[in-house]
Amino acid sequence: MNRNPRHDNSPPAQPGELEIEAGVPIPGIILEQENWTKTGIKQLPAPNSVDWHEIFGRQAPWVVELGCGNGRFAVSSAVRHPEWDHMAVDILPMVIRYATRRGNQRGLNNVRFLVCGGSEFIRDYFVDGSIHQLHIYHPQPYREPGQEQKRLLSPEFLILAHRRLASGGTFFFQTDNPAYWSYFQNAVKPLFEITATPESWEEDPKGRTRREIVAKSQGLSIFRAVATKVEVDEATYASYLQSAPSAEFDAMDSHPQCDSRSRRGRHHRRGRRR
């Protein structure tokens, strides 16, 4: 039976079962409630006040996801990589509640979820050279004119991300928006080297996020990149800011959904004029 991933009617997973979302299992068996953990940080700490090693109770590489949505990737990675500590944020409290419950139900001790903006999170809660991996999947393109300044990626953000990543750290990026993909490819140079553009993720061939699963079901192209930090000096940052492209691209350019909606809108308007 064909199932529309946007309308997932899968029954809730019971203890001892795998959770199925949009037809795709999420790693990690659901535990009995007495074995659940607490993966949510409900109160956002004061800036520059967090000791992540103390929160996790150990020294481990840090994996950060910005715009984590309902937590599918962060939970999956935490299950597969118990040797890493994960921090994931989103600005929407509702999706963080979903993410936190997923982490709790699997008894995870190596992931924490918070409500916070992406740029603010790495600016206020990390120091330079501290993040092992940075993950950004399907950032909001903000298609409406005048909203460009809300986009996460910008020259200033990319410098901040570069500073926060450890030497040799990796930046994982994914979008289904062709214009955002083009901007990413142009804007990351010379701070990062794109070392891979996989057709799918080896660990998650059907999708790392709910958005990816839905986009694939709609026939949209998915653009993926793994970028490695390049060591640069302060002079490079200064020259980069002078020459880097701004994030004021047209997010509706070349996007099949937008083209389709525009055509429907034009036909509708023509019908009304007649």
Name the 3-class secondary structure at 11: coil
Domain ranges within the chain, ordered by starting residue: 18-249
Dihedrals φ, ψ of 104, to 5°? -60, -45
Rg of the Cα atoms in the chain: 20
Whole-number Å distance between alpha carbons of 235 and 48: 26
d(CA 134, CA 153): 13
pLDDT in tens, the chain (274 residues): 344 555 566 788 999 999 999 999 999 999 999 999 999 999 999 999 999 999 999 999 999 999 999 999 999 999 999 999 999 999 999 999 999 999 999 999 999 999 999 999 999 999 999 999 999 999 999 988 888 889 999 999 999 999 999 999 999 999 999 999 999 999 999 999 999 999 999 999 999 999 999 999 999 999 999 999 999 999 999 999 999 999 988 888 766 655 544 444 433 433 433 3
Phi, psi of 184 (to 5 degrees): -55, -50
Helical ranges in 5-92 per DSSP H: 52-56, 72-80
Interatomic CA distance for residues 169 and 174, integer angstroms: 17
Asked if residue 62 lies in contact with residue 84, where contact means CB atoms within 8 angstroms, the answer is: yes
CA distance 109 to 57: 9
Note the helical H segments in 107-197.
118-124, 155-164, 178-187
Q: Does domain 18-249 match CATH 3.40.190.10?
A: no
Whether the pTM exceeds 0.75: the reply is yes
- According to DSSP, the β-strands at 62-66 and 85-90 are parallel
